[in-house]
Amino acid sequence: MAKVLDDAAKAAQGKATKRALTGNEAVALAMRQINPDVVAAYPITPATEIVQIFSTYVADGLVNTEFVAVESEHSAMSATLGASAAGARAMTGTSSQGLALMWEMLYICAGLRLPVVMPVVNRALSAPINIHGDHSDTMGARDAGWIQIFSENSQEAYDNLIQAIRIAEHPEILLPTMVTMDGFIISHAMEVVEIQSDEDVRKFLGTYKPERTVLDIDRPITMGGLDFTDYYFEHRRSIAEPMINAKQYILEVAAEFEQKFGRKYGLFEEYKMEDADYAIVVLGSTAGTAKIAVDELRAQGVKAGMLKIRVFRPFPYEEIAEAIAKCKAVAVMDRSDGLAGRGGPVFGEVRNAICDMEKKPITVDYVYGLGGRDIDVEMIKSVYSDLQRIAATGDKALVTYLGVRD
């Protein structure tokens, strides 16, 4: 904990510094720099450290945050969205079963157009009980109306959380946003992270000034009222519209972030895709392993490439379709299972993206890494071998469970 406080002191000195931090430490430090008005939280592995470290910042007077220790994750989201409705910049954090316990309130938060920002440490859902990383938790919430941003490493988790504040609070968006990182692989692994100064981060974020709040007695509003058949449909449509249009504003925030801090972000990252015949589509920490596999295959003359999705909601359909259009075969890597017989949720989105293309790559799905099972370079290279065979013969299995014991 002393190291974390030392990191905070260095960031406050007015210049960027490079520090060895775990993902949880980096995200907690970003939260300190954000200095939210309210944080309501309940601990859950492997996200506990985020709010634990942040509570130390509160206790030591390093933030002006009202920290609310609640009795469950459902209460955490209830208190957070209540604070946001009252005009506060409000945050919480969770993982796995905790996110699932928030389910009811996730939909309400989005339905009320409240710009809550929440780091989520990806972890498998029970049963069986498992505390390790896969994407089943946030994939289960993919249609709740939250923007979802995935992180490959601790640096991205830090940067994404700062950008998420600007994205969620953008007057043309006003939607809650979750920033994810893989449990233990990122949350508890230490790496070098460039931390911006407090002053620069707060200048980038600005002051949150909501147009309307439930405490504005001069301009009273109803929030969360009863909607039957007369207006419910229209109100739900009004939530979909800002999600559909959010891509351009996410890119605007990313461009400003790059200009300010020098690190570039988009809706997704292309790695050696310019002339790729065979590509994989992936989210989160596996992208780092995939880059090594691509480099080794390129050295052998295989035209391999990778596309890493950063923004899963809103899903960049047109952009991804264009990026993979020239490939012969594409494998979508799903670290969760849709349990529907047709692969995982990312596979469904990518197939939807290319379905209207006259000429499209052969596309297959690989479900992998459930419950935190390792994915290594050789396993990813085996996927590229499959893609070469599929492109040559047309013989394919639509869905493969990679690394599972039969």
CATH number of 2-261: 3.40.50.970
- Mean pLDDT for 202-225 is 94
Whether residue 193 is predicted with pLDDT greater than 80 in this model: the reply is yes
pLDDT at position 15, please? 84
Whether residue 112 is predicted with pLDDT greater than 70 in this model: the reply is yes
pLDDT at position 274, please? 98
Ranges in the chain annotated CATH 3.40.50.970: 2-261
Whether residue 2 is predicted with pLDDT greater than 90 in this model: the reply is no
To 10 degrees, the CA torsion angle through 78, 81, 85, 88?
120
Ranges in the chain annotated CATH 3.40.50.920: 268-401
pLDDT at position 340, please? 83
Whether residue 14 is predicted with pLDDT greater than 80 in this model: the reply is no
Q: Which of 141, 151, 195, 148 is nearest to 167 (CA)?
A: 148
Confidence of residue 296 (pLDDT cuts 50, 70, 90): very high
Distance from C-alpha of 148 to C-alpha of 121, rounded to nearest angstrom = 12
Distance from C-alpha of 49 to C-alpha of 190, rounded to nearest angstrom = 14
- Residues 227-284: pLDDT tens digits? 999 999 999 999 999 999 999 999 999 999 999 999 999 999 999 999 999 999 999 9
List the single range of 193-207, 212-226, 351-365 with lowest mean pLDDT.
212-226
Whether residue 12 is predicted with pLDDT greater than 70 in this model: the reply is no
Q: How many CB atoms lie within 10 A of CB 107?
A: 16
Contact 156, 144 (CB under 8 A): no
Distance from C-alpha of 369 to C-alpha of 367, rounded to nearest angstrom = 7
Percent of the chain with pLDDT over 90: 95
pLDDT at position 341, please? 80
Distance from C-alpha of 321 to C-alpha of 207, rounded to nearest angstrom = 37
- Mean pLDDT for 23-45 is 98
Question: Scanning the structure block, which residue is given the tokens 């890493």?
Answer: 308
- Residues 319-358: pLDDT tens digits? 999 999 999 999 999 999 999 888 999 999 999 999 999 9
Distance from C-alpha of 239 to C-alpha of 175, rounded to nearest angstrom = 8
- Mean pLDDT for 55-75 is 98
HSE on the CB side for 157, CA within 13 Å? 36
Contact 403, 134 (CB under 8 A): no
Contact 343, 310 (CB under 8 A): no
pLDDT at position 356, please? 94
Q: How many CB atoms lie within 10 A of CB 35?
A: 16
Whether residue 13 is predicted with pLDDT greater than 70 in this model: the reply is no
Distance from C-alpha of 177 to C-alpha of 217, rounded to nearest angstrom = 28
Distance from C-alpha of 199 to C-alpha of 240, rounded to nearest angstrom = 35
Look up residue 163 and give its amino acid.
Q
Distance from C-alpha of 71 to C-alpha of 47, rounded to nearest angstrom = 16
How are strands ordered across the β-sheet holding 177-182? 66-69, 38-41, 90-91, 117-122, 177-182, 147-150, 311-313
DSSP letter string, 323-356: HHTT-SEEEEEESS--SSSS--HHHHHHHHHHTT
The phi and psi torsions of 271 (rounded to 5 degrees) equal -120, 110
Percent of the chain with pLDDT over 70: 97
pLDDT at position 3, please? 63
pLDDT at position 85, please? 98
Tell me if the pTM is above 0.85. Answer: yes
- Residues 135-159: pLDDT tens digits? 999 999 999 999 999 999 999 999 9
Computed over every residue of the chain, the mean pLDDT equals: 96
- Phi/psi-derived region of residue 176, left when phi > 0, alpha when psi is between -120 and 50, beta in every other case: beta
Pick the CATH number of 268-401 from 3.40.50.920, 3.40.50.1950, 3.90.480.20, 3.40.50.850: 3.40.50.920
